[in-house]
Amino acid sequence: MGLAKLYFTKLENLEKNFEEISAKLTDPSIISDRETYTKLAKEHSELSEIVDTFREYKKILHQIEENKKIIEEETDEELIELAKEELKNLESHLENLEKKLPILLLPKDPNDEKNVILEIRAGAGGEEAALFAAELLRMYQRYAEKKGWKLEILDANETGLGGLKEVIAKIEGKGAYSRLKYESGVHRVQRVPITESSGRIHTSTVTVAVLPEVDEVTIEIRPEDLKIETMRASGHGGQHVNKTETAVRITHIPTGIVVTCQNERSQYQNKITALKILRAKLYELAQREQNEKIQKERKSQVGTGERSEKIRTYNYPQNRITDHRIGLTVYNLPQVLDGELDEFIEALITYYRTEALKREEAKLSLVA
C-alpha cells in the first residue's frame, strides 16, 4: 500500500503550482488583465480536484499515524479499541484515494468536454441494417434526453420502410464526447427481420462514428511568414495607370499562396485587402485539411462495416447485448435500446483508464 514515490513527487509539484496560481489570482495586476486572469482561473479550476484529493490523502496519512501511535502507547483499552476501529476505516479510505489519485494524474483528452458529431450508417444487411440504424439513433436520442443533452439531426437519408441509410446528428451537452466516444465502431444485430418470411435469423451491421465538434479555425498570420512586394498598378495590356508603387503582392511562405491586389488607391489599402484575401484562402485551406483529418479519423473508427469488425452485438432472440472489447454481456436489450447505456459506458471508461494506468506505471518503473 502507498503511492509510488514518483506519483507523490508529481502531486507535490502540482500542489505547489496550485498555490502559486492561487496567489496570482489575488494580485490586482492579474485581476485587471482579463486574458491572463481567465487563463489562470481555468488552470486553477482544472487542478483543484486533484489537489484537494491529494491534501485529503495526506490528512488521512497523518490520522493513520496518530491512531497507530495511540494503539502503541496508550494503556486505556477502550481508547485503543476505538483507535483500531477508526484505523480500519482510515486505511480503507486511504486505499480508495490511492486508486483515485493516479487516475486524476492521467492526461485528459482535450476533446472530452466538446459537443459531438454523431454519424450512423447502415453497413452489411441492406434494409435490415437501415432499420437497425434508425433504432440506434433512437437509442442515442433517449440517452441524450436522460443526460439533459440536446440532439439535433443535421442530415438524414431515409428508406421506404422507415430505416436510415445514414444520419448525421449534433449532440450538445457537458461531457458528451467524454462518454459517447466509446460508441465508435461496428454495431452488429442478430434477429429475424420484419422483411423475412421464413423466420431465419439474419446478421446485419451498422457503423457509428463519434467525432468531437470541430472548433472554428482561427487563422494567425505571422509577419515572418510573409513576403510582401510592391509594384506599380497596371491597366489593360500592361499599361501603367500610375507612377507610384501602390500594388501589393503577398506570398505566404509556408503554403506558397500568392495574393495580389492593385484595385485600391493606396498601397496601405491594397495591403489590407490582400491580407483579407490571404486570410480567407488560409481559412479555406485549414478547413479542407481539417475535414480530411475528420474523414480519416471516422474511417479508422468504423472500419469497413464488415460483420467481423464488430465492437458490440445485439442479439434479439436471446435478449442479449455483448461488448466484445471488454467481454461484458447483459440480458436487458430493450432497456439498453431505450437509452440505458451507462452500464456499458462506465465499464468502458474503467477499462480504458486501467489500460492507461498500466502504461503510466510501466513508464514509472522504467524511470525508477
Taking residues 266-292, what's their average pLDDT? 79
Was domain 5-105 assigned CATH 2.60.40? no
Q: What average pLDDT does range 159-183 have in this prediction? A: 88
Q: Which CATH number does the domain 223-292 belong to among 3.20.20.150, 3.40.50.300, 3.40.640.10, 3.30.160.20?
A: 3.30.160.20
Q: Is 85 exposed, middle or buried (0-12, 13-18, 19+ CB in 10 A)?
A: exposed
The average pLDDT across 222-241 equals 69
Q: Which CATH number fits domain 116-216+301-357: 3.30.70.60, 3.30.70.1660, 2.40.37.10, 3.30.56.10?
A: 3.30.70.1660
CA-nearest of 272, 277, 280, 270 to 234 is 270
* Torsion over CA: 319, 324, 328, 334 (sign): negative
Q: Which of 105, 3, 87 is nearest to 47 (CA)?
A: 105
Residue 236: per-residue pLDDT: 43
Q: Cα–Cα distances in Å, from 93 out to 28, 258, 276?
A: 40, 64, 60
For residues 182 and 345, is the Cβ–Cβ distance under 8 A?
yes
Which pLDDT belongs to residue 352?
87
Tell me the mean pLDDT in the region 261-268: 75
pTM of the model: 0.64
Distances (CA, A) of 241 to 95, 106, 228, 229, 261: 82, 65, 21, 18, 14
Q: Where in the chain is the domain with CATH 3.30.160.20?
A: 223-292
Instruction: Cite the residue boundaries of each domain of the chain with CATH code 1.20.58.
Output: 5-105
Closest listed residue to residue 327, CA positions, set 348, 355, 308: 348
Separation CA 43–CA 25 (nearest Å): 11
Segment 14-35, tens digit of pLDDT: 999 999 999 999 989 988 988 8
Beta-carbon contacts of 211 under 8 Å, excluding residues fewer than 6 positions away, are: 116, 117, 118, 119, 294, 297, 298
User: Would you say residue 355 has pLDDT above 50?
Assistant: yes
Cell numbers 507610384 correspond to: 244
The set of residues, in sequence order, having a beta carbon less than 8 Å from that of 282 and lying 6+ positions away, is 219, 221, 252, 255, 257
Q: Which residues contact 41 (CB under 8 A, 6 or more apart)?
A: 25
pLDDT at 353: 84
Cell 499599361, residue located: 239
In this structure, of 246-255, 279-288, 337-346, the range with the lowest mean pLDDT score is: 279-288
pLDDT band at 110 (very low <50, low <70, confident <90, very high): confident
Q: How confident is the model at residue 124 (pLDDT cuts 50, 70, 90)?
A: confident
Q: Is the pLDDT of residue 317 over 60?
A: yes
Instruction: Give the rounded percent of residues in the chain with a pLDDT score beyond 70.
Output: 86
Cross-sheet strand order for the sheet of 247-252 = 226-231, 247-252, 257-261
Please list the residue range(s) of the chain that carry CATH number 3.30.70.1660: 116-216+301-357
Q: Rounded to whole angstroms, how far apart are CA atoms 255 and 258?
A: 9
* H or E element, residue 280: helix 267-302
Residue 54's pLDDT is 92
* Grid cell in block for residue 223: 509577419
- Is residue 308 over pLDDT 60? no
Cβ atoms of 89 and 73 within 8 Å: the answer is no
What pLDDT does 79 receive?
87
